[in-house]
Amino acid sequence: MLKNEPPRTIAGEPPRRWLADEYFDLIVWYQPDGGIDGFQLCYDKLRKERALTWIASQGFSHLAIDAGESKPRSNRTPMLVADGVFPAELVQAEFARRSQLIDEDLRRLVLDKIDEYVSRARYA
């Protein structure tokens, strides 16, 4: 179950919040005035992790997360790579179920953006 975490600031970067459970990672980026600048919703972390990203000034992307090499002495830097169809119904249902404890405005934004992504993909 996703839970509220306070925003953190890393020197030279805008404030962000990272919420996680065993299925999702939700990273939220904030503008200096406190408004949301974007988010990345990583899902299906234990099987085939993918990410839906929305940034206000850039729009959407949907990519798979390649975890890198599995050898202990090799580089394991995750990378975003092209992926197929976004399983919107599954992700939306899981997010609605697992996000009941987070800020309602953030929850609604993510659910609305999932709808918007699906609508845009349908007409692209």
In this prediction, residue 124 carries a pLDDT of 60
Residue 110 · residue 26 · CB < 8 Å: yes
In this prediction, residue 16 carries a pLDDT of 93
In this prediction, residue 80 carries a pLDDT of 57
More confident position, 34 or 6: 34
More confident position, 62 or 77: 62
Residue 17: name the closest of 36, 43, 32 by CA: 36
d(CA 47, CA 74): 21
Phi, psi of 50 (to 5 degrees): -135, 170
pLDDT at 51 over 90: yes
pLDDT at 121 over 60: yes
| pTM assigned to the model | 0.85
